[in-house]
């Protein structure tokens, strides 16, 4: 369990499936999903729960102070390089613009850099997902490049933005925060 000021990140449990499935099925949220996969049935998720948990990717449920699930965040170590992690996050629409995404990302970054010895954390985001890109920048991520015409969504191709933060940048960021206090 990872704790922020207003959020709690905990390992996803089978009882969370209904709420998580609602997020996965929400058409507004899906337009920002870089994977654009066809969502399996809720029954498939229930039947394959143990297999999903045995993968390298870690799924954490984001809870607010009212103990409501506001979204989920994932991380996994990149297989081709040690101490490099890939993250992703989904926040339910009714919880947008309340700071849950930023706090969840910062909480996970602290865990990855301070407890897991991460050297780098990276992510990919749709170029039209301005809210997410701004959030990532506020968390210290830097735009490193784009994969052109990598996403086909709503009848057109879009770019996939590559963003990352390295240990040195993270440490400078937290030192700045401590100085401001």
pLDDT digits (tens, 9 = 90+) for 106-145: 999 999 999 999 999 999 999 999 999 999 999 999 999 9
**pLDDT category, 25, cuts 50, 70, 90?**
confident
Give the 3-state DSSP-derived string for 86-139, with helices as H, strands as E and coil as C. Answer: EEEEEECHHHCCCCHHHHHHHHHHHHHHHCCCCCEEEEEEECCCHHHHHHHHHC
pTM, full prediction: 0.88
User: Of 72, 108, 67, which is closest to residue 90 (Cα–Cα)?
Assistant: 72
The total number of structural domains in the chain stands at 1
User: Of 69, 74, 143, which is closest to residue 108 (Cα–Cα)?
Assistant: 74
Report pLDDT digits (tens) over 62-109.
999 999 999 999 999 998 889 999 999 999 999 999 999 999 999 999
Q: Average pLDDT over the chain, rounded to whole?
A: 88
Higher pLDDT, 39 or 135: 135
Encoded tokens for 44: 């498939």
Which structural domain range is residue 167 located in? 2-180
C-alpha to C-alpha distance for 22 and 13, rounded to whole angstroms: 15
The conformation of residue 67, written as its DSSP 8-state character, comes to -
What CATH number does the domain containing 63 carry? 3.40.630.30
Instruction: For the chain, state the CA radius of gyration.
Output: 16
């Amino acid at each position: 369990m990872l704790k922020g000021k207003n959020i709690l990140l905990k390992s996803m449990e089978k009882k969370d499936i209904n709420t998580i499935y609602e997020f996965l099925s929400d058409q507004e949220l899906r337009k920002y999903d870089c994977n654009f996969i066809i969502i399996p049935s809720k029954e498939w998720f229930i039947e394959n729960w143990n297999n999903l948990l045995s993968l390298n990717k870690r799924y954490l449920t984001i809870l607010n102070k009212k103990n409501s699930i506001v979204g989920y965040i994932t991380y996994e170590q990149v297989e081709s390089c040690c101490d490099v992690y890939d993250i992703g996050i989904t926040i339910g629409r009714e919880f947008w613009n309340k700071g849950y995404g930023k706090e969840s990302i910062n909480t996970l970054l602290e865990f990855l850099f301070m407890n897991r010895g991460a050297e780098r954390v990276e992510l990919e985001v749709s170029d039209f997902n301005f809210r997410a890109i701004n959030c990532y920048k506020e968390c210290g991520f830097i735009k490193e490049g784009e994969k052109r015409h990598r996403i086909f969504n709503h009848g057109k191709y879009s770019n996939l933005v590559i963003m990352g933060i390295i240990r040195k940048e993270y440490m400078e960021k937290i030192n700045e925060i401590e100085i401001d206090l």
